[in-house]
A and B are shown apart, each in its own frame.
Chain A
Amino acid sequence: MHQLGLMIDMNKCIGCKTCVVACRNHHGIVDHENCMPGEIPFYIRVESLTEGTYPLVSEHCWVVPCQHCKNAQCIKACASEAIVKDPQTGIVRIDADKCAGSRACIEACPYDVIQFDAVRNKAHKCDLCHDRVVAGEIPVCAEVCMTDAITFGEVEMLRQTALDRGREIDRKKSAMSIVYLKPTLKNTLAGV
């Protein structure tokens, strides 16, 4: 099986959103002259979860790009057959030329990661930086991540690396091609 993906280390993600901006810049999806907050498309987002009550609180963050699903709902939903799972890489890609702008993929996506360009009438999303990957580079988010929380590679190797490092994979989050490493316990010295 050919499947590239990312591994997100929830021990390291600090929720800084640097990857979001770098991704936008690289893919040219931000109109620097005219953009306004809340209206700029994004291919990757940051989520977080806080647990506990003061003073024993914990918080961890992670990023959510396209999960490059095995049986992608977006592919099934697209009547124009504009979305394909690239057999060489496992990357789910939208062919802009074929996209008819039905937005069916956006409705179908369980991860809410597909954007819509109303001007061009096209859906668009993370393609795991296909252009860079086939040229031997890593995706922009992995390159710029401030804490090296994002690792790029073959999904099977990413899972093996997680085990080699003694880290637990968050199975619920890691159902598709993005592997999430569970955070280890923090604040262990408090109240000892």
Chain B
Amino acid sequence: MVQDGWHPTVCYQCKAECAILAKVQDGRVTEVKGNPKYGGKACVKGMAGVTLQYAKDRLTKPLKRVGERGEGRFEEISWNEAFDIIEEKLRSLYDRGEGHKLTYSFFPHSLTDPKWHFLNAYGGYINTGLPHCDSGKIVSEIKCWGGIPNHHIPPAWFTMPKDGIILLVGRHAFGCLDDACVPRDIMEAMDRGAKLIVVDPIFSPDAAKADWWIPIRPSGDTALFLGMIHHIIENDLYDKKFVEEWVREGDFDKVKAYVKDMTPEAMSAICDVPADDIRRLAVMCAEAPAVGVDGFKSIMLGQALDFGHAWSIFLAITGNLDNPGGQPIPELTPLSPVEPQPPGPPPLNEMGFHRTGPNRDAFRNYSFILEPTWYEAQAIKDGSLKILLVTEANPALTEMGNKEWQKAVCMKDANGEYMLEFLLNTDIMLSETAKYADLVLPDQTHFERYELLYMPWWYNFGHGVLLRQPLVKAPGEAMHSNLVFIEIGRRMFPEYFQFKDDVEYYDIQLRGLGLSVEKLKAMGGKWSPGTMGFRKYRDGGFGTPSGKVHLYWEDLEEVGQQLPRAILAPEYDADVEEYPFIMISYRRIHINGTGPWSSNNAQLRDPASGQSTNPAILNPAAAAKLGIGDGDTVTIKSRTGELRMPVRLTEHIRPDCVGIMHGFGATVGRVAAGAGHCDNELIPDAGSHLEWQDLIGGEAHVSTRVRITR
């Protein structure tokens, strides 16, 4: 499709979507590397994209289920038949006035995604196709300083000044899920004199390079931060100028009064970090020219929003917002809308599937902007989710309580009809989810498709657009899901689909920048102002109603979350006696998620270049008490699940924890099937454990308590 040589495009081996160069030779992609114009690094997953591209498991024809859901038996059909089936199913629900009972799971890696345009025309909802990971952080930041929803926004480590502090709290930054440049940028910041401090129950590769590893009790992060906030305020170490100018009047005093008794000693008892260390870290942060905080697993727990809130307060009182080294605030790129604009679905908080079932009251303060993926199984049982479309996601394996999800999609009503009327899966290979799908469509890889990637924040350059472009032919009849939904859109809502294909759709949007796909291509595939902008709030304030930072959330007074609670995650408070260990799900750079993109990739599963399996990791001291030796097979049991798996003894973990690497346990895929064990089987289904959930905007989905026996 293109001439031999190196071509700029965008990786999609994970959600970071790094700018890469791909080498094409005789119509084949042969090599990948970072694009030196935009950061210059690609990670091992990106490199292994070549193996994914040519894997034997690639789907080449639309498949229709024969037999029951879960059996994984299909027959090949034509695209025309596939389109007719989709149209008929979607029309049926729409014509009943229940368009809001359709949800599409896909990663919204671009606000320009044509699938989103279709959803807005249809009146269905989007969820991310995977747990929302950092919704606790996103909701918290929007409440504190406004801004634009965007998936994970880490500090731009390359802006960290000498003597700044890089504080990773439950974040494996070297895993490169933000950008492949992150490890280099952190190392270079350290060369300049910045300190790397890693707060994590697991001694991660990041911790191995750190100036200080703080092995905190899982979910103790809120207490740690509240203890630091207490010490900083009580000792007058806060950024007075920023607080006076930019924190809403009265909020700081409320925080000060609230944390008065949250002494380092009191917080130490919760988080298991020595009080002196809390004080020392607080002073270091207060005195540093900048502190950048990043967290991920720490905001995937049942008190996620509490930690997001404590983290936000900490950043505000230390003046680390939108400054070099601190927390960046995103902004929008001025693209043109595609007219006429579809109306969009009814308000999520009125008709979203989490709001229409028996748990409606429990969700009354839920404030995340997308449907909670983890509630899908319950919504199917409630009859409030009727059609589920899934692209490049694998809820059958990815969801906590994945067995419950599998059960729910197979449930039938009194007439013997599936309660979930239609389940569509588009992906490049079969996955566990495909086994349950009524229709499986062969999708295209990032080397085969166009995509205008438009984000309010790119790690390397702030806001802007990147162009993913087809470099080689897709196998068989594989078609990009964006084109599938443009076709369905043209059939069902022609008034909103007045463009012929994805390129024309992107051309319309690019007019706002005076560009087109062709022009963008000629520019090397990127448009950005070239400045991420610092302290943008000085030009018009923060994006909150007052224009100031809101540390106090009066709207959550009724649920007692107006300020962060110094609690451990509720899923850790339950069953302490019966299940003495905390199971921590973790990942390494070779793993994106449970989808086939990284798990069904031979290079990423090869012992020399990836992770071949995932024995549970256990501290030798803890193992000795249980009479467990290295390599023994043990039973790990939680409230709802059980795994029989080998253990590896290592000093890299707290003695009260057991670690299981995420991304294993697949049953589908030439490479993936049979390797390792799935952590999600131990984690109770969130929908049936609402008491453990953060029902404001976070979620509990990575962890639970377990018992280990030989």
Contacts and interface: CB of A to CB of B under 8 A. Distances in A.
B606 A37 contact: yes
Given A11-B187, A38-B607, 5 more contacts: A14-B183, A16-B174, A16-B205, A147-B187, A190-B212
17 contacts: A12-B187, A16-B176, A16-B589, A17-B44, A18-B43, A21-B47, A30-B50, A30-B51, A35-B606, A37-B671, A39-B606, A54-B619, A54-B651, A146-B180, A148-B184, A189-B195, A190-B214
Given A17-B608, A143-B33, A189-B197, A57 B651 contact: yes
Interface in B395-422: none
Given A33-B55, A50-B652, A54-B654, A186 B211 contact: yes
Contacts of A53: 651
B31 A22 contact: yes
Contacts of B565: none
Interface of B: 30-34, 41-44, 47-48, 50-51, 53-56, 174, 176, 180, 183-184, 187, 195, 197, 203, 205, 207-215, 280, 589-590, 602-603, 605-610, 612, 619, 621, 650-655, 670-671, 675
Given A18-B44, A40-B608, A188-B211, A35 B174 contact: no
Contacts of A26: 31
Given A28-B30, A59-B208, A18 B47 contact: yes
A5 to B, nearest CB: 22
Interface string A22-38: 10111010101111111
Contacts of B42: 18, 144
A52 interface: yes
B212 A146 contact: no
Contact of B211 (A16, A146, A189): A189
B30 A25 contact: yes
B184 A40 contact: no
Nearest to A189: B212
A25 B31 contact: yes
Contacts, number: 153
Given A50-B652, A189-B197, A16 B43 contact: yes
Nearest to A15: B205
B666 to A, nearest CB: 13
A180 interface: no
Contact of B609 (A40, A55, A146, A192): A40
Contact of B54 (A15, A33, A45, A58): A33
Give the dominant DSSP class at B's interface: loop
Contacts of A25: 30-32, 47, 50
B606 A40 contact: yes
Nearest to A46: B608
Contact of A14 (B55, B205, B212): B205
A146 B184 contact: yes
B655 A54 contact: yes
A188 B174 CA distance: 20
A32 to B, nearest CB: 4
Contact of A36 (B183, B602, B608): B602
Contact of A146 (B53, B183, B621, B654): B183
Nearest to B28: A32
A186 B280 CA distance: 18
Contact of B41 (A34, A50, A146): A146
A16 B44 contact: yes
B588 to A, nearest CB: 9
A190 B213 contact: yes
A60 interface: yes
A148 B187 contact: yes
Contact of B33 (A22, A33, A61): A22
Interface string A126-163: 00000000000000000110111000000000000000
A30 B184 CA distance: 27
Given A14-B205, A54-B654, A21 B30 contact: no
A187 interface: yes
Given A25-B30, A186-B209, A187-B213, A37 B612 contact: yes
A188 B589 CA distance: 26
Contact of A147 (B56, B184, B607, B651): B184
Contacts of A15: 205
